[in-house]
Homo-oligomer: A and B are copies of this chain.
Amino acid sequence: MNALAELAATGRIAVRYRVATADVGAVAEAVRIEQTIEYPLELITDGFIRDEVVGQVEDVTQRASGSEFTLSFHPDVAGGELSQLLNLLWGNVSLFECVRVVDVALPDAVLDVFFGPRFGLAGLRVLLDAPHRPLLTTAIKPMGLPAADLGEMAATLAIAGFDIVKDDHGLANQPWAPFRERVRTVSAAVAEANAASGNHCLYMPSLNVPSDRQVEAAYFAKESGAGALLVLPGLAGLDAMRSLADDPALGLPIMAHPSFQGSLVVNADQGLRHGLLFGLLARLAGADLSIFPSHGGRFSFSPEACADIADSCRRPLGGIAPIWPAPGGGMTLERVDEIANFYGLDVALLIGGALHRGNLAANATALAEKVRELGSAPTATMP
């Protein structure tokens, strides 16, 4: 058990920060105040507030570069709610230029508040009748196509054997394929394709909708026959995703899209470690699958960041189920073996626009066959 996990085992919220300035001790002092009382510490006369409510410095490690420190917090500071937990982890400190959160450990008292993903790794394997292999997912696109064309494309992918066919996340309520028309049309097309093929493809509309219509849109999707939901937590808010996942009457698998979240992770000296955002927080917020740009593309995460995300999606986390890392970007038939070797079989492959070079049906079928071979190969192992 590492030092953070040991702190969490004592019931404290533990956060490890890396600091790109010389005066790590001063930053640690500033952060423990800024994230809790925002008040001059020397004016606090109440012993409980000074000793329990204010964050405590647990460790300061000064290095020539990349100094680190650990704070711990009373679990009640998080108030039993995801929004305040997020605020505690990365609220005001997000305004500091030189601080990155590199690790978080949560005590059971905090983890137990969250249901996490409704399906997760195991639940989607059952739902999709895919006991061993990677999942195969892609998006209908490009923006500008009418709903009927998007429906035809989705049907082709469903018949080929794709597990999830999602809206491109930028499909919103544009005049070319308005939300309701698109969801109705594509849901019907995928249902028909499933009936004809015996496949279990889920159509996943993008809930890129106004905040005050999100619940209505989610239920409209369900009632139209859509089998899953794509949520953009960088725009909708992580807690809005959590509220959809927690709704038992809705009960649809959720995939998180990283739109608008990039600045939280891509700046080396600032933000959150990749796996914390796309693994830990995605799970607390109820995602069953977590999209990120896989290594190997032109503007993509490093192999280390990708491995961190995959590990953070799947490692033990109290009673919260493991979820599917969904690497996207630059995925082709030729790279499937490489990608499965890197991520293992508990991965949802998100295939991009290259699928459309040549014949879509033939490309999609070849990919689906390739992925099914992976699941039955006796040598397939987890990394």
Contact = CB atoms under 8 A, between A and B. Distances in A.
Contacts of A211: 83, 237, 239-240, 242-243
Contacts of A150: none
A30 B299 contact: yes
Contact of A81 (B34, B172, B260, B299): B172
B235 A169 contact: no
A35 B142 CA distance: 11
Given A38-B142, A142-B53, A84 B262 contact: no
B145 A49 contact: yes
Given A243-B212, A262-B94, A143 B174 contact: no
Contact of A210 (B82, B91, B270): B82
Nearest to A237: B237
Interface in A227-241: 232, 234-240
Interface in A5-52: 30, 34-40, 43-44, 46, 48-49, 52
Contacts of A267: 97, 263, 267, 270
Interface string A252-282: 0000001111111011001100000000000
Given A97-B266, A240-B211, A169 B356 contact: no
A320 to B, nearest CB: 17
A168 B84 CA distance: 12
Interface stretch (A72-80, A118-126, A127-135): A72-80
A46 B259 contact: no
A100 B291 CA distance: 22
A174 B243 contact: no
B43 A357 contact: yes
Nearest to A300: B95
Contacts of A234: 91, 94
A240 B234 CA distance: 12
7 contacts: A43-B356, A48-B144, A83-B211, A91-B170, A94-B258, A210-B239, A211-B242
Closest 4 CB pairs of A and B: A94-B262, A37-B142, A95-B262, A84-B172
Given A81-B208, A87-B172, A236-B237, 8 more contacts: A37-B143, A39-B356, A40-B356, A77-B143, A84-B174, A87-B208, A90-B260, A96-B299
